[in-house]
Structure 1
């Protein structure tokens, strides 16, 4: 029996998934690493942590199995998007990676708008400029750390750096490159026009390949550390959301995905680059060749729930924290929450907005707050669904993955708020499974990604919207949408008092 490995490099942990030729998950290992948040709005990581924890996860995976090294035929990757890793001429890391959820670059975003123009950005990159993207980070380093920038010979995205360390080969691929603001999404090439406009040498951009392209094999050093074979093929992989789409079977028109991890995304398949959303949602290249997807983002989805637990119920695990939310009525007994604890992305590209609880009452219990947080996260994701529907897309069936798919009551809340059927998969590790599928396809096990998906992924439960709850949530959602406008100015005034 042959096997493939999917490596999902997330924001808080790396997950390594072992699958066999029949699509069965035969092993999973996860290793955590810390965020570095030295100042408000800053979010960084040491890339060496990614390598160290991935090697440790692979070691543990092999230790728990009886596999021979040559049974692992292929490895591929899924990774957090937008992060900046700068390398010098010798391909050494010059500074900590600046992550997708770092919001220090508002000034650089305004500069990009002036130098390139919003219209040109949308025409070339299909996306408006936002703090989380890679290009503003490059300009921030150029302006604030000129000595570092002068040494920079190449930038890589997080999973691309990890793959480089495992293979010694330097590449990026289209689905991740689409989140840099430097890629011509339709033409699938780095944009010299944008590079020239902002003063970035296009030679800083790595070579581009397709997600299923074999970029090399495992180095001897990594093979010795992990028990992998030096003949193990390594495939480029994709951005976490592109891999989540593949792992969940979002491979044709009408397919929609809800993924709730650290951030939350609402993702819908696009067969061409021509659908015009006027920059209201992201428009990226898919991990499937010559395909695309549109996506709305909630910056703090699972992270908002983690923050709540760590701040107010640190002694509880997530299962205990959510125990009993089904007994709390729709609307959490008159309590609303906006999950803006690190700002917001869709539909409000606002780095300064912050979260609110509205309607707190002396009779509210902890479980009311938990339900309000979950409903607030789901309301935020519903704003992306509304944009899709307003553009003419039909969304009546959604695949749900990630932490939000682990609790049945939360899945029912999604069905009721989204007013759509919610499908729970046998495995909610969409990005890791998607990476493994890319490796399996690259190895030639199957003739298409869809053939892989049909074997690797299937629905185990479907949640149908309850009409009475749908109507209640429509009223609550209209109230939720008022909160941003009514707290925006207050949060700007409070900004000066933050840490």
Structure 2
């Protein structure tokens, strides 16, 4: 008997990954194809949609061919993708723009204006997407102002997943999950939000039709079916957003179960059985499906902060480690462990790339606070690691205020390779942290959603059996007391420094403009 498989396709920021899973969650085969982020001016971050489409096809083609070579039965293909992208399409289905991705900040002036208005607050409370340059709402306002000739020609405005599926099936459809991250979608009524559309200057007919995350496409265009090669009747499941699916793949599918992911950036997410928004606008509220809503916040500064410190202050050690084929991060962990918890009163505000949750301020800046003559380079290293966790913990606190107690945390991402860093999360939060062996993150979440859509599992909660806990980290009560004292200082720093950050950002922007 042929073994059944399902393929999860994750359309990411710099690559697309296709992963074949057994129905027990086992990874059978995977392929990844990369593409560049295009940036030709300050704040620009775009993808070539045709490059992304080709990456999807190439990755999927190689996985499908492997499955055929080993006589596996393909049950379906399910999708995940990054959120907040925008492509303007003409009436003939051709792109008028490249794909403007979440990292593009050119709409920051529009976002700031909306955020300060009563209408902006009202829109957030209904859409669940914080007002920020990442959101398609702000991007549309910017495009209308800065490129009116493109805006007026556009027949449709879509994201990258919708572009790929339009090419494959000829239909403009958007899943509730991706729609809920646009700032244009009412998460309580599951339709486009009239006030947001009016503000953006578009109407519902210019946006894809919203459908559940279990929606199934069939009848792939013949030229793609022959290339892959798969039967034209193979079901393709629309799936959801990468963040929501990462929670599904990380044991975080029940209320009160939080997932912390720290890679280059980071995120904290918890599940709820109904949508909720934060009157202080600190959190996002996105949709996994009609019964599962993901509340949380993303931070810009995760592993990128440690990498910055490595590249800036450990250049000689990094070069030596590369020459000896050693892991520089193992060395950094050993160095950080020589410093007492709390870095002897040195704090790091980790806003190197501005910040999303909980402050949502692109002008925020990083800084060290509390340095004295006795602090050495290892102190600054440990302070960076602790500062990242303090930033993550501030999102955990906001979540608990909105969604209720979070008794445990499931952790994954690149930081999970550092037991020191994960233990910091336990000690700072005062919560048990479970390290999960999550196979391929969002792609696995897409596969689980596909299994549910195809009735191969009876509920999303059934996926728990496929997710393994590799280690448990228990908080140290004494260190938690120390860290709580430091956190009480940490959380006061941004409000006190906000005006200074704005002035420094203004100086930097002006200098950049003069240089260009």
Give TM-score scaled by structure 2 length: 0.88
What's 2:83 paired with? 81
Candidates 264, 267, 277, aligned match of 1:265: 267
- More deviation, 453-462/279-288: 279-288
Candidates 13, 31, 34, aligned match of 2:33: 31
5 Å-filtered alignment, 1:94-113, equals 94-112=96-114
What's 1:5 paired with? 7
| Separation in 2, partners of 1:225, 1:245 | 33
- More deviation, 365-374/242-251: 365-374
What's 1:300 paired with? 301
CA drift of 1:251 comes to: 2.3
Quick check: 1:401–1:429 contact (8 Å CA) kept in 2? no
CA drift of 1:300 comes to: 2.6
5 Å-filtered alignment, 1:60-459, equals 60-62=62-64, 67=69, 71-112=73-114, 117-273=119-275, 275=276, 277-311=278-312, 313=315, 315=319, 316=322, 319-320=329-330, 322-324=332-334, 325-359=336-370, 368-391=379-402, 393-427=404-438, 429-451=440-462, 453-459=463-469
CA drift of 1:207 comes to: 0.7
Q: 1:45 to 1:64 in 2, by over 3 A?
A: same
Candidates 35, 56, 61, aligned match of 2:58: 56
Q: 1:32 to 1:152 in 2, by over 3 A?
A: same
| Separation in 2, partners of 1:75, 1:291 | 22
What's 2:476 paired with? 466
CA drift of 1:70 comes to: 7.1
Quick check: 1:271–1:292 contact (8 Å CA) kept in 2? yes
CA drift of 1:12 comes to: 2.9
Number of paired residues?
497
CA drift of 1:106 comes to: 2.8
| Separation in 2, partners of 1:137, 1:69 | 46
What's 2:21 paired with? 19
CA drift of 1:421 comes to: 1.0
SS at match of 1:117: helix
CA drift of 1:379 comes to: 0.9
Q: 1:488 to 1:23 in 2, by over 3 A?
A: same
| Separation in 2, partners of 1:298, 1:102 | 15
Quick check: 1:175–1:284 contact (8 Å CA) kept in 2? no
CA drift of 1:85 comes to: 1.8
1:354-407, Cα deviation, whole Å (9 max, x unpaired): 222335568766654443332222111111111123346111201112222232
CA drift of 1:35 comes to: 2.1
| Separation in 2, partners of 1:153, 1:69 | 44
Quick check: 2:277–2:283 contact (8 Å CA) kept in 1? no
CA drift of 1:436 comes to: 0.9
CA drift of 1:90 comes to: 2.0
Structure (1 or 2) with the larger CA radius of gyration: 2
| Separation in 2, partners of 1:98, 1:336 | 35
SS at match of 1:93: coil
| Separation in 1, partners of 2:338, 2:14 | 31
| Separation in 1, partners of 2:32, 2:417 | 17
Q: 1:497 to 1:116 in 2, by over 3 A?
A: closer
Q: 1:116 to 1:463 in 2, by over 3 A?
A: same
Q: 1:288 to 1:69 in 2, by over 3 A?
A: farther
Over the residues paired in the alignment, what is the CA RMSD in angstroms? 2.7
| Separation in 2, partners of 1:28, 1:409 | 30
| Separation in 2, partners of 1:69, 1:137 | 46
Q: 1:88 to 1:364 in 2, by over 3 A?
A: farther
Segments of structure 2 that go 5 or more residues without pairing to the other structure are none
Q: 1:404 to 1:228 in 2, by over 3 A?
A: farther
Give TM-score scaled by structure 1 length: 0.91
Quick check: 1:15–1:28 contact (8 Å CA) kept in 2? yes
| Separation in 2, partners of 1:75, 1:309 | 40
Quick check: 2:125–2:279 contact (8 Å CA) kept in 1? no
Q: 1:253 to 1:214 in 2, by over 3 A?
A: same
CA drift of 1:30 comes to: 3.0
Q: 1:372 to 1:216 in 2, by over 3 A?
A: farther
| Separation in 2, partners of 1:89, 1:222 | 22
SS at match of 2:152: helix
Q: 1:306 to 1:30 in 2, by over 3 A?
A: farther
| Separation in 2, partners of 1:87, 1:281 | 32
Matched, 1:497 2:497: no
